[in-house]
Structure 1
C-alpha cells in the first residue's frame, strides 16, 4: 500500500511539474530541471516544445501566418531566366589555376584575374554580388569547366524564373513565365509553369554561382558569412529580349499580379540602350490595366547611372511594389542622394533605423501620395538577419503574415527543411534597436514570442521580423526571390489599388 501511495505521489508531483513546464515555458530550463531532480523523480524530461528563442519564434510565426482573404489566381512573371551552375568558388578558382591575390571589386569582369579579385573582395566581406563577364570566349571556357566540375549542380536561375518556380509550388496558382528558356531550363521548370512558345530558345543562358561557407578561407581571406558571387555573359537577358513577348502575353493570360525583374542585367549595355529600354518598360507597364499590381524585383548593381535612371525615369512610380536587399537599398540611396548616402557600405548587420529611414524616404519621395500619381505603395526589404515590409497606409492587407512568411521561408529554404528546425538556425538580430536615426524613433526590444514588430511614420506602416539564420546553409542562391515570392503570396492588395 505504501509503495502504491509513493508511486501515486510521484505521479501527481510529475503532473504538477509538467504543468509548470506548460504554463511557464520561459522559466529557465535549469530551474525546472532542479525542481524535478529535487523530487528524485529520475532524469528531467524535455519540455513540451522547444524552449529556445528560435523555437518560440518559429512557433509564433506559424500562428501569425494566415492566408489573405483575397488570393492571387494568375501570376505573370518575367523577364530574366537562365540555368544556374552552382559550385564552390574556391574550388573553381583552384581548378582555373588561380592563386589568392588582393581582393578588388571590378564593376565588369574582363579576365580570369578580374574574377579572382572580385570574388576575393566580396568573399572577404561575406557579401553577395553579381557581375557581367565581358569576354565571351573566356566566359564559355570557364562555364564549361564549372559545369563539368564534380559536385556542380544545375538549377533554375534568373529572378523571374525563380519567382515563378516558387509561385508554381502552389497548385491552385496559374503561373506564366516569359524569359529566354532553353532546353535545360525547360526541363528543370515546374510543370505548373507555362512558357509561351515565343520564349523558347535553342541554347540556355548559363550563370555561374560561386558559393562559399562561413569561415571558408582563400589565402589570407576568411568569409564572415556564407554567401555567393554570381557572374555571366548573358546577352539575351542583358538586352531584356523577352520584354515584348512578356507584355504581349499578358492580355491573353489575364494575370491578377505581374512580377517584373531583370533590369539589373542591362548593366553591360550601352547607355542609349538602357535609356530606351527603361522607357519601353514604363510604357509597357502603363498599358497593364489599372488594379493589377506590378512588383519589381531589384538585384545587385554597380552602375549608379542605371540605378538613378530606374528611380527617376518613372520606373518606380509605375510599379506598385519593390523587393530588394541591403546592398541594393544602400546603392539606391547613394545613386539618388537619399538618407545615409554618405555611408560607403554596411558595417556588419545593416542598421535597422537607417534601413527604415531609407525605406521611408523612397515611399515619401517616389511613392503614392495625395500630391503624386505614383503607384508605388509597398517595399519588401530583406537582409540575412531580418526583414522589413514598408507600405503606404490604405493599400495593402495581411502584411504581418507576409513578412513572417518571407522570413520563415528564408530559414527553411537555406536549411532545405520543410519546417523550421530550431536546432539548425540561430537568432542573430540585435536584441534592441531604434526605428529611425533621421527623427526621434522608438526603441524596440525584441521578444521572440511576438516576433513581428509594427511601427508607423507619417502614413507609412513598417512590419519588422527577425530571420532565423540557417547555421549550415545547403544553398543560398535564390533566397531573395523565394522571400519576395512568399511575401507576395501572403499579401493582399485592396480592390482599386
Structure 2
C-alpha cells in the first residue's frame, strides 16, 4: 500500500514541476505517465474493483445518465432519407479497375478518377466526407457494382431517417418521418415511425457508403482510423423536394421537437437552386420555431459560400440547436473567418482548446450568447471520434451531463454493433488532460474516469465534455453522428417549454 502512496506522490511532484517550468508539456507528460503506471492507481480511490479506465468510465456513465424531467413526446424529423449501400471502399474501387494513386479532394465528383482521388484523400486522414456525383449514368453503374459486390449490405440511410430510427427505439416517443421514402426504405423503417402518404415515392434514392478499417492499406495509402466516404446522385434529397410536405404534416402531428437535416444535399445541385431554396427554408423554419424548438443536423460540405449563406441567411440563428462533427466545425469556422480558420485540417484528435474556441465563437456570432442578439441558437452538440462536447448558453437547457454522456455511450456501443458497451472491445483515446481554450487565458482540466463529464465555463456558456470509448473493430461507422445527436436529444430538456403544456 505504501508503494502506491510513494508512486502517487512522485507523480504529483513531477507534474507540478513540469507545469511550472513548461506548461505546454503538461498534456503530453500526463498522458505518457498515466499509460506507463498501473491503471489501478487512477481508479482505486473511486472504483477499487475496476480493471481499467474503460470499465471505470462505462460504469460511471450508467450511474450518471438519467432521463430528463420532461420528455419530448412527439418528434417530427425531416427531410432527407434514402437507402445506404455499404461496401468496402478499397475493394469496390479495385473492382472498378481503378489503380491506387495520390489523394486529391474534389468538391463535386465528375468521374471514377475523381472518386478514387477524393476517397484516398480522406482515407489517409481517417476523416468522414460526403460528395455529390454529377454524372447520373456513371453513378448508376457504380451503384450496381456496389449492390452486387460480395459482402455489401443495405440499410436505412439519410440523416433524417437514421435519426428517426434511433428516436423510434424509445417507445414513449411518437416519431414522424418525412422524406423521399421509396418501397425498400419503407420496408426497412421501424414500424412505429409515421410516414405521411405524400412523401412516399415509387423508387428509392441510393447512397453508396465506402467504408475502410483502421490500418487498412491501399498501396502506399493507409487509414489511421476507421471511417467512411459517401457518394450519391440524389435529386429528390438534393432539391429538398419533401420540405413542403413535411411542413404541411406538422399542423396535424403537433410535434414538441422538430429535427431537420439535408441542407448539405443541396450543395451539389448548383447555386441557382440552392440560393432560392435556402431562403424558402429560412422562411419555413421561422414559422415552425414559433410552435416547437428546432434541432438542425449538419453534414459534410465543401462550398464556403454555401455555408456562409446558411449562417447569414438566418438559418443557423433561427434554430435552437445544431449537431456537427470536427470536419463540419472547422469548415464552418473557415467559411466565416472564425477562430483557427487558418488550419487546413485537423491533425489527429482535434485539440479540445481549439474546438472550444470555435464552439464559443459560433454561439457568440450566430447564437444567443450575446444577450442582445435576436438569434435563437443556444445549444451545440459536437462529436468527434475520441470525445464529445455539449455547449449550451446558460439558462436555456438542462440535463447536460446526461446528454453528453448518453451520446458518448451510444457511440461506443453502436460502433461495435452492440446494445451496451463491452469494455473488452473498446479503448480510451481521449486526452487525459487538456485546456479550456487555445488562445484565451486557459484553464487546465483533467479527465476523471470515475466522473467522466468534465465541465467548464466561458463567460455565459457552459461546456460539458465526455470521452468516447472507441470500438477497436467497428462493424459500421455510417450513421454514428446521427445516433449520437438523436440520443443526446432524447436526454435533453429545454428550459423554455411553455408550448409543451
Name the TM-score, length of structure 1 as normaliser. Answer: 0.90
Q: RMSD in angstroms over aligned alpha carbons? A: 1.5
Secondary structure, aligned partner of 1:125: coil
Any conservation in 2 of the 1:452–1:463 contact (CA below 8 Å)?
Answer: yes
- Give 1:100-115 correspondences, 5 Å limit: 100-115=100-115
**Residue number in structure 2 paired with 1:38:** none
Deviation track 1:471-497 (CA, whole Å, cap 9, x = no partner) reads: 000110100000000000000001348
Q: How far apart, in 2, do the equivalents of 1:348 and 1:163 lie? A: 27
Deviation track 1:168-203 (CA, whole Å, cap 9, x = no partner) reads: 001111100010000110011000111101100011
- Give 1:395-406 correspondences, 5 Å limit: 395-406=396-407
Q: How far apart, in 1, do the equivalents of 2:144 and 2:109 lie? A: 17
Deviation track 1:82-119 (CA, whole Å, cap 9, x = no partner) reads: 00000100110111111101111111111111111111
**Residue number in structure 1 paired with 2:415:** 414
Deviation track 1:139-165 (CA, whole Å, cap 9, x = no partner) reads: 001101101111110000000000000
* Alignment CA distance shift 1:29-1:79 (3 Å): closer
Is residue 280 from structure 1 mapped to residue 280 from structure 2 by the alignment? yes
**Residue number in structure 1 paired with 2:372:** 371
Secondary structure, aligned partner of 2:401: helix
**Residue number in structure 1 paired with 2:230:** 230
Deviation track 1:309-338 (CA, whole Å, cap 9, x = no partner) reads: 111110011100000000000000000011
**Residue number in structure 1 paired with 2:428:** 427
Q: How far apart, in 1, do the equivalents of 2:199 and 2:136 lie? A: 23
Q: How far apart, in 1, do the equivalents of 2:264 and 2:73 lie? A: 28
Which stretch of structure 1 is more off in the superposition, 47-56 or 310-319? 47-56
* Alignment CA distance shift 1:289-1:138 (3 Å): closer
Unpaired runs of 5+ residues, structure 1, are: 1-26, 32-46
**Residue number in structure 2 paired with 1:297:** 297
Any conservation in 2 of the 1:74–1:174 contact (CA below 8 Å)?
Answer: yes
Deviation track 1:337-391 (CA, whole Å, cap 9, x = no partner) reads: 1111111111111110000000001101111132111110000000000000000
- What is the CA distance between 1:81 and its match in structure 2? 0.3
**Residue number in structure 2 paired with 1:190:** 190
**Residue number in structure 1 paired with 2:120:** 120
Q: How far apart, in 2, do the equivalents of 1:29 and 1:267 lie? A: 48
- What is the CA distance between 1:285 and its match in structure 2? 0.8
Q: How far apart, in 2, do the equivalents of 1:447 and 1:88 lie? A: 37
Q: How far apart, in 1, do the equivalents of 2:137 and 2:48 lie? A: 60
**Residue number in structure 2 paired with 1:204:** 204
Name the TM-score, length of structure 2 as normaliser. Answer: 0.89
Q: How far apart, in 1, do the equivalents of 2:322 and 2:266 lie? A: 18
Q: How far apart, in 2, do the equivalents of 1:475 and 1:28 lie? A: 33
Secondary structure, aligned partner of 1:464: strand
- Give 1:217-256 correspondences, 5 Å limit: 217-256=217-256
Any conservation in 2 of the 1:161–1:177 contact (CA below 8 Å)?
Answer: yes
Any conservation in 2 of the 1:291–1:495 contact (CA below 8 Å)?
Answer: no
Is residue 476 from structure 1 mapped to residue 477 from structure 2 by the alignment? yes
Deviation track 1:248-300 (CA, whole Å, cap 9, x = no partner) reads: 11111000000000000011122122111111111111112536110000001
- Give 1:328-367 correspondences, 5 Å limit: 328-367=328-367
Q: How far apart, in 2, do the equivalents of 1:389 and 1:30 lie? A: 29
- What is the CA distance between 1:29 and its match in structure 2? 7.9
Any conservation in 1 of the 2:289–2:318 contact (CA below 8 Å)?
Answer: no
**Residue number in structure 1 paired with 2:392:** 391
- What is the CA distance between 1:30 and its match in structure 2? 8.7
**Residue number in structure 2 paired with 1:55:** 55
Q: How far apart, in 1, do the equivalents of 2:344 and 2:197 lie? A: 45
Q: How far apart, in 2, do the equivalents of 1:310 and 1:438 lie? A: 27
* Alignment CA distance shift 1:30-1:259 (3 Å): closer
* Alignment CA distance shift 1:292-1:99 (3 Å): same
Secondary structure, aligned partner of 2:124: helix
Q: How far apart, in 2, do the equivalents of 1:269 and 1:129 lie? A: 17
Q: How far apart, in 2, do the equivalents of 1:407 and 1:273 lie? A: 37
Any conservation in 1 of the 2:39–2:52 contact (CA below 8 Å)?
Answer: no
Q: How far apart, in 2, do the equivalents of 1:295 and 1:320 lie? A: 6
Any conservation in 1 of the 2:75–2:176 contact (CA below 8 Å)?
Answer: yes
Deviation track 1:225-248 (CA, whole Å, cap 9, x = no partner) reads: 000010000011001101101111
Instruction: Answer with 1 or 2: which has the greater Rg.
Output: 1
Deviation track 1:390-423 (CA, whole Å, cap 9, x = no partner) reads: 0000000001100000000000000111211111
Q: How far apart, in 2, do the equivalents of 1:263 and 1:476 lie? A: 21
- Give 1:61-210 correspondences, 5 Å limit: 61-210=61-210
* Alignment CA distance shift 1:48-1:341 (3 Å): closer
Q: How far apart, in 2, do the equivalents of 1:194 and 1:79 lie? A: 13
Q: How far apart, in 1, do the equivalents of 2:189 and 2:125 lie? A: 33
Any conservation in 2 of the 1:50–1:422 contact (CA below 8 Å)?
Answer: no
